[in-house]
Amino acid sequence: MTQPHDMPSAAQLVEAVREFLERDVMTATEGRVQFHTRVAINVLGMVERELTDGPAQAAAHAEGLARLGVTDETALAAAIRDGSLDDRLDEVRAFVLETVEAKLRVANPKYMGS
């Protein structure tokens, strides 16, 4: 498949800005500006991870929902509430754990111990 955009990719551009903030701006600032720079670095890291990992995570999430026989998280919550998945609670727990882990891998992979 031909991509409409040339190199660098969006993820690579975000990475470059994040690295600039980490290497140059953080060391040249202090106080409030340094704090906001740290926040920006964290946000850019999340965007970078979502750009690179998001499509695979979204596909895995959709597959998990389909395995449970629901279309989305709202339908999953309704099925849990009405008891229609009570006989598959181990599968539901595994899916919810996978979902939380995927979100943590994007939000802050340090929380995963890796």
Tell me the C-alpha to C-alpha distance, in Å, between residue 74 and each of 6, 43, 85: 38, 27, 14
Residue 104 CA to residue 10 CA, distance in Å, equals 21
70 phi-psi bin (left φ>0, alpha ψ -120 to 50, beta other): beta
The contacts of residue 39 (CB under 8 Å, 6+ apart) are none
Q: What is the pLDDT of residues 54-98, one digit of tens each?
A: 999 999 999 999 999 999 999 999 999 999 999 999 999 999 999
State the pTM of this model.
Answer: 0.79
